[in-house]
Amino acid sequence: MRVLVRGLSLLVLGLALLGLGCKDLVEAPTALTYGTNPATYYLAQAIASNSPSHTGGAIDSYAVSPTLPTGLSLDPKTGIITGTPAAAAAATTYTVTATNTAGSTTASLSIEVLDPSITITTQPASQTILVGATATFSVTATGTGTLSYQWLKNSVAITGANSASYTTPATLLADSGSTFSVHISNAYGGSATSISATLTVTASLPPTITTQPSNQSVSVGQTATFSVIATGQGTLTYQWKKDGVDISGATSASYTTPVLVLADNASTYSVKVSDSTSASVTSTSATLTVLASSGGPGTFIATDNLNDYRAYHTATLLSNGKVLVVGGYNGSYMPVAELYDPATGLFTATGSLINPRYSHTATLLTNGKVLIMGGTNFGAVSNSAELYDPATGLFTATTGNLLTARADHTATLLPSGKVLLVSGRSQAGYVSTAELYDPTTGLFTTTTGAPLASRATHTATLLGTGKVLIAGGFRASNLNTAELYDPGTNAFTAITGTLSTPRAYHTATLLSNGQVLVVGGAASAVAELYNPTLGTFSDTGTLLQARDHWHAAALLPSGLVLITGGIGPGSPAPLLASAELYDPATGHFASTGSMTTVRELHTATTLPNGKVLVAGGSGFGYLNTAEIYY
């Protein structure tokens, strides 16, 4: 009996041990990993299966958190990730949990989904060139990874044309009408093809219109003057048209209508410009608005306030008729920009500058964008530049920076579409160099020749000849010297005459007769005219109020020049609200209505409707007010 009990006890113990051993045979999984981690996938492209591995016991099921990017899935039995991404996704860490009856383990897996598509931001532009010259077509594009380019002529690939720009060999007349496009791709399946740009090859180039006739709004009983500025070979001839019909005797660079009646309202005016080779170009049409009553000539009326107080800013008339107000200073540096819409009379905010700045320049490019350059940024002179795109309302950095940091410089759009920057000041002193911005590359290059004098707060005026007049400015004291930049030689040359009065912070306005009116910037009230034919300056009328600096000037559609505000000479120097008009026909200044407030460091912009927007500046404090002159 004792033996039987002992045997039963051993049997029970053995069964217990056997049960314990069966449980220990199920081991928890450990060390879960994935073969591809981190994983980068591309939109609409099937991924290679991403399989897990682990140690420890067999896995019963897998789960992932958070949910995988759209289009991807995890097999709950195998843990393998497969699929085709259907949406881009930023890099995100996902936790995969592997489980069996004995326990679980996790793996952290990083996955991002990139969009491989390519976006063309600047299309190739059609060109007209002389036979024997070369043409360069360029494209700007963005996309994932390194972009590859293949240019095509008439839809046929051009051997070796594999960069963002393509320069043709010397052209033949037979090349005229050829089309050039570019196919862009990357290693991830993205691709895009540009529009086709057309090459026109001619034995002689037509004239180039640098200043188109502008729309005007005048009162019944008055006259309107339309003007054009053009360059070309030999002596240019002009023929003005009203509503497409030639106007007898209207054969000069400007045309003044007879006394207007209401029936003239909505008439259009254009001009055909021909050169000595008989090549010709026709201007855009300007529209005339005839008002029943003007409400009184020479009137300033308040308009909407700026969103921000600002002085030292810029105001640029855009191709769409709106005015872009950029940067400035109001005790702090201004990163904000805004738009004035003449149709509504309102200011609205637009994109912010990448770099706050004042004493900068703003230049409307031929592609409709605005180039913002240099200036002072948090006490330091800047070498940065950025572009404002009216289509997006955003600012983006240019491809390259200025070669020299500069503020109080000038920027002039040349007939070639490039922009000339001249002199200014830097942290080290006055700048003695000049450089060119090329919108096709986004890069700055130095001019072949340097300016003859370093200067700041000078003026730069594009003449009808295509040359640029650099006049006056400051370097230790006001300067009376002037020089010309010639785009043909890319160099500067001295001119015959000098200013009769040394000037800085003055204004220079190109008149419809091709001469340049230089006003203010000195204690003297005498204004001067530069004659491009003679290369000399001569005194013209005397201002009713001397304007020592920081006034503004605007050319009116009538050909008159409006001078507003500024600071007069004396101690204490008076802040001015007065305005006056210069008449090129008489060479005299006459009083016109006063502004609603005293202003200096403001802007004055002639609108397409012929009115003038006066905005911001400083009076007895920084201003956010604006007013309209009409």
Measured CA to CA, the distance from residue 82 to residue 47 in angstroms comes to: 6
**Using 50, 70 and 90 to split pLDDT, how confident is the model at 222?**
confident
Cα separations in angstroms, 630 against 294, 446, 485, 557: 8, 42, 35, 11
Q: Pick from 499, 561, 493: which is nearest to 529 by CA? A: 499
DSSP alpha helix (H) spans, 447-557 = none
In the beta sheet, which residues pair with residue 481? Answer: none
Q: Pick from 235, 233, 230, 220: which is nearest to 270 by CA? A: 230
DSSP state of 14: H
In the beta sheet, which residues pair with residue 485? Answer: 468, 492
Q: In the numeric block, which tokens belong to residue 19? A: 């049960």
- How much is the pLDDT for 205? 79
Measured CA to CA, the distance from residue 359 to residue 458 in angstroms comes to: 12
* Prior bond of 116 cis (ω within 30°): no
CB distance 290 to 332 below 8 Å: no
In the beta sheet, which residues pair with residue 527? Answer: none
CB distance 356 to 334 below 8 Å: yes
Residue 261 has pLDDT above 80, yes or no: no
**Using 50, 70 and 90 to split pLDDT, how confident is the model at 11?**
very low
- How much is the pLDDT for 189? 86
Read off the amino acid at residue 54: H
- How much is the pLDDT for 8? 41
Stretch 114-129: mean pLDDT:
93
pLDDT digits (tens, 9 = 90+) for 421-470: 999 999 999 999 999 999 999 999 999 999 999 999 999 999 999 999 99
CB distance 620 to 600 below 8 Å: no
pLDDT digits (tens, 9 = 90+) for 615-628: 999 999 999 999 99
Task: With H, G, I as helix, E, B as strand and everything else as coil, classify residue 23.
Answer: helix
Q: Which residues contact 229 (CB under 8 A, 6 or more apart)?
A: 209, 210, 211, 253, 464, 510, 512, 514
**Using 50, 70 and 90 to split pLDDT, how confident is the model at 15?**
very low
Among the ranges given (10-24, 193-207, 586-600), the one the predictor scored with the smallest mean pLDDT: 10-24
CB distance 491 to 477 below 8 Å: no
DSSP alpha helix (H) spans, 148-250 = none
What percent of the chain shows pLDDT beyond 90? 82
What is the set of domains in the chain, with CATH numbers?
29-114 (2.60.40.10), 118-202 (2.60.40.10), 211-291 (2.60.40.10)
Cα separations in angstroms, 204 against 136, 172, 200, 276, 278: 18, 13, 11, 10, 9
Q: What is the mean pLDDT of the chain?
A: 92
Q: In the numeric block, which tokens belong to residue 237? A: 């001839």
Q: Which residues contact 119 (CB under 8 A, 6 or more apart)?
A: 141, 142, 143, 192
Q: Pick from 129, 138, 118: which is nearest to 182 by CA? A: 138
pLDDT digits (tens, 9 = 90+) for 290-306: 764 433 457 898 999 99
Task: With H, G, I as helix, E, B as strand and everything else as coil, classify residue 13.
Answer: helix
Q: In the numeric block, which tokens belong to residue 168? A: 């043709």
- How much is the pLDDT for 238? 97
Provide the total of helices (H) and of strands (E) in the chain, helices listed first. 1, 64
Measured CA to CA, the distance from residue 625 to residue 622 in angstroms comes to: 9
Q: Pick from 237, 230, 315, 310: which is nearest to 277 by CA? A: 237
What do you get for the CA distance between the two ends of the chain, in Å? 129
Cα separations in angstroms, 304 against 278, 328, 345, 350, 613: 49, 19, 6, 16, 11
Measured CA to CA, the distance from residue 202 to residue 179 in angstroms comes to: 15
- How much is the pLDDT for 229? 95
Measured CA to CA, the distance from residue 284 to residue 416 in angstroms comes to: 19
Measured CA to CA, the distance from residue 590 to residue 597 in angstroms comes to: 20
Residue 264 has pLDDT above 70, yes or no: yes
pLDDT digits (tens, 9 = 90+) for 356-368: 999 999 999 999 9
pLDDT digits (tens, 9 = 90+) for 231-250: 988 899 999 999 999 999 99
Stretch 14-26: mean pLDDT:
49
- How much is the pLDDT for 220? 67
Q: What is the chain's length? A: 630
Q: In the numeric block, which tokens belong to residue 602? A: 């403001």
Beta 61-65 vs 72-74: how paired, if at all?
unpaired
CB distance 127 to 56 below 8 Å: no
Measured CA to CA, the distance from residue 483 to residue 255 in angstroms comes to: 31
Measured CA to CA, the distance from residue 330 to residue 621 in angstroms comes to: 9
Q: Which residues contact 362 (CB under 8 A, 6 or more apart)?
A: 314, 315, 316, 324, 326, 370, 371, 372, 373, 411
Which class for 608: exposed (0-12), middle (13-18), buried (19 or more C-beta within 10 A)?
Answer: middle
**Using 50, 70 and 90 to split pLDDT, how confident is the model at 125?**
very high
**Using 50, 70 and 90 to split pLDDT, how confident is the model at 590?**
confident
Cα separations in angstroms, 214 against 44, 217, 284, 318, 364: 50, 10, 9, 13, 16
- How much is the pLDDT for 297? 52
pLDDT digits (tens, 9 = 90+) for 338-382: 999 998 899 999 999 999 999 999 999 999 999 999 999 988 999
Residue 411 has pLDDT above 70, yes or no: yes
Q: Which residues contact 379 (CB under 8 A, 6 or more apart)?
A: none
Residue 528 has pLDDT above 60, yes or no: yes
Measured CA to CA, the distance from residue 616 to residue 312 in angstroms comes to: 9
Residue 22 has pLDDT above 50, yes or no: no
Backbone angles phi and psi of 62, in degrees to 5: -125, 150
Residue 20 has pLDDT above 80, yes or no: no
Backbone angles phi and psi of 175, in degrees to 5: -75, -10
Radius of gyration of the chain (CA): 35
Task: With H, G, I as helix, E, B as strand and everything else as coil, classify residue 22.
Answer: helix
